Structure 1
Amino acid sequence: MSENGTAPFMAALNARAREALVHWGLGAQTPQLLKHRENAVFRISLENGEPAALRLHRPGYHDEQSLASELSWTAALRQANMRVPAPIATPDGRHIVTLPATPDFDAQHVDIVSWMAGIPLGQSGVPLAHSPERLGAIFRALGGTMARMHVATDTWTPPSSFHRPVWDSDGLLGEQPLWGRFWDCAGLSPDQHQRLSALRLLLRTQLDGLSPLELDYGLIHADLVRENVLVDGDDIQLIDFDDGGYGWRMFDIATALFKNRDEPHYALIETALIGGYSAVRPLPDSALKTLPLFMCLRSLTYIGWMGERAGSPDAGRLQRYVSDALTLADAIGSTDET
């Protein structure tokens, strides 16, 4: 199959999206590709003319049970008045359709979710353009929205078939972490491999040593980066629950903060988000003290993510991620000379 971004690949991808739309009775349109990372996401139109999002899921990333669990979770959050995408069923009542393998594609799952009209908070690597006052308002609202998501999730009883990834010690630091073996990533120098391997063991000890009573644990979004946070006036919408699963709520908070660390007003951002969260859901000092640990854990996942993707990692980007991880490790006193 042609490489991503080439004209033959894009033509095949658009044809695949039209193939999927037939199952919803919506084949007579041209889908608009919005992004192609883990999933290929298209803007499409429903029969009533309203927009929606078609998701072609990356083959082999999540099975049908896990995807159905994601959709049941977001549907429950919608019932709790959270502004998140809701699943849209086919005429015969299915939320997920499996497309067969073709010469161009492996078998893959597809679904359609409702459109969210907000504007992305920002783009990773691009400075935020908002004024300090606006940043404070946005991140306070985001903190409150995250807390309400956690509250609504804890009052919901998942179906017996519910299955999602687990961002626990094994999921972050085990032999097969959810986002890849960061210490074995191609492109690391021998010294970096050694330091990240040692860091993995040290952080595992720290994480396992935390008291369960100190940390709030449950379903988390796990990928609240800027692109997945939509701003609609004074309201916040959350999208892309693809990596959502069980984990520490501080990991959700760390993820929402991580890629804002270089912002000139980062202190304001962190204070606003934590203040907004704490106004809705308790966030004791014992939990806040673990933020540097979870920031470091988040940084390691990005190294693993790069290593899991086909081809050689972008050298400059990889080195930035490694530098981030080792700097954050030093800040929490997790690294010694190795």
Structure 2
Amino acid sequence: MSAELPKTFRNALDDRARQALVHWGVAEQSPELLKYRENAVFRVRLADGRPAALRLHRAGYHGEAALRSELQWMAALGDGGLAVPQPIAAADGRLLVALPDAGEFAAQHVDVVSWMDGEPLGESGTPLSHPPEKLGAIFSAIGAATAEMHNLADRWTPPEGFGRPAWDGDGLLGERPLWGRFWDCDALSSTRPAALSALRHDLRQRLAALPAQDFGLIHADLVRENVLVGERGVVFIDFDDAGYGFRLFDIATALLKNRREPAYEAIEAALVAGYRSRRGLTEEALSGLPLFLVLRSLTYIGWFAARPELPGARERVLRYAYETLALAEELGFR
């Protein structure tokens, strides 16, 4: 996505990153832009030469308290032995720094987190490159790491002032979902809003009727790009959307974009088995997985509708609406 940015904006973004790095005492370098979506993420070098990730947070998306809470949870997971990025303090000891308005940039926050080795599991829309036998081991490890993340979350007592978004019924299907009103988007064709609105109503009833679900802190965005695979196993990155939610939502997110893989049945079985090796998951609870797959699919519609400045946003809204309605029909919700 960074290659598609206008050159003038890209140069301004690099300058903004160097402005931020002043606070870590390493401004004399050329930050490498890795991703520009919710945040602008750069690979940088610390004073001792170690690589790290600098994150310029999207202005207005999360407040200071929520961003600080994200870093606190990442630190707690690291303390518990989970391989996740760890916050790195600025020269004055702050983990989160506020940058003022400057040129075309509104006031925003910045942080630096430790670099995590490994390659992304894959890219959405591109078939996975790993052989089937390796996919089983990878998704088993993803399941086990997800379960351990949930275990650590349940054992941890958040500090005073901790607050993150809620991926609950209202956050997914309420009047103001966290990622936008997916049934009420300008980009939708004439017949889609009514169909999505009806699906929303149906899903609200089904969600309310589910047996009691495991609920607590979750990553909320375990897509392929946020799972790194390396010699030491799997690593989760990008906790930007972490919050309180259904634990099955994490499992559904890790599975959704793999449903068209030839080895999907083995992938799902391996992930569930890996999860169960570290945490309980009954068959009754797992019966809700199809519902959460559809719920996860719906979130992408609102996300892109709320970001029309992204390349191809309108086309993606239409595509995700079509795919979600098709998935709902395939899984028996329409």
Contact 2:298 2:320 in 1 (8 A): yes
Number of residue pairs matched by the alignment: 331
Aligned to 2:137: 137
Distance in 2 (CA, whole Å) between partners of 1:128 and 1:4 is 24
Take 2:4 and 2:16, find their aligned partners in 1: how far apart are those partners?
14
Give me the TM-score of the superposition, normalised by structure 2. 0.96
Deviation at 1:320? 2.7
For structure 2, which runs of at least 5 residues remain unmatched after alignment? none
Contact 2:139/2:274, CA 8 A, preserved across alignment: yes
Which residue identity lines up with residue 258 of structure 1 in the other structure?
A: L
Structure-2 residue corresponding to 1:240: 238
1:264 counterpart SS class: coil
Query: How far did residue 81 of structure 1 move?
Result: 0.6
Match of 1:262 among 260, 263, 271: 260
Tell me, which stretches of 5 or more residues in structure 1 are unaligned?
A: none
For 2:263 and 2:232, the matched residues in 1 are separated by: 20
Q: How big is each residue's C-alpha offset from its partner over 1:190-213, in whole Å with a ceiling of 9 and x where there is no partner? A: 21110101111111111122233x
Distance 1:326 1:51 in 2: 43
1:205-249 deviation digits (Å, cap 9, x = unpaired):
11122233xx11000000000010001125110000000000000
CA shift, 1:332, in A, is 4.0
SS of match in other structure, 1:93: coil
Cα distance, 1:90 vs structure 2 = 1.1
Greater displacement, 303-312 / 15-24: 303-312
Q: Structure 1 residue 290 and structure 2 residue 277: aligned?
A: no
Trace 1:89-104 onto structure 2 (pairs within 5 A). 89-104=89-104
Q: What SS does the corresponding residue of 1:55 show, helix, strand or coil?
A: strand
Residue 43, structure 1, aligned to residue 43, structure 2: yes
1:25·1:91 contact (CA, 8 Å) conserved in 2? yes
1:205 aligns with 2:205: yes
Spell out, residue by residue over 1:260-316, the C-alpha distance to the aligned partner (whole angstroms, 9 max, x if none).
111111111111111100111011011110000000000100011111113496454
SS at match of 2:191: helix
Which amino acid in structure 2 is aligned with residue 191 of structure 1?
T
Measured at CA, do residues 268 and 234 of structure 1 come closer, stay the same or move farther in structure 2, by a change above 3 Å?
A: farther
Q: After TM superposition, where is structure 1 displaced by more than 6 Å over at least 4 residues in a row? A: none
Q: Secondary structure at the match of 2:183?
A: helix
CA contact (8 A) 1:292 1:331 kept: no
The code of the aligned residue for 2:278 comes to V
- Which amino acid in 1 is paired with 2:320? Y
Q: Percent identity?
A: 58
Partner of 2:324: 325
Give RMSD over aligned pairs: 1.4
Q: Structure 1 CA distance, aligned partners of 2:330 and 2:263?
A: 20
Give, in whole Å, the separation in 1 of the partners of 2:87 and 2:11.
Answer: 26
Mapped contact 1:32–1:44 kept (Cα < 8 A) = yes
Partner of 1:159: 159
Could you list the per-position Cα deviations for residues 77-102 of structure 1 after superposition, in whole angstroms to 9, with x for gaps in the alignment? Answer: 00001000000001211000010001
Amino acid at match of 2:117: A
Deviates further, 311-320 or 122-131: 311-320
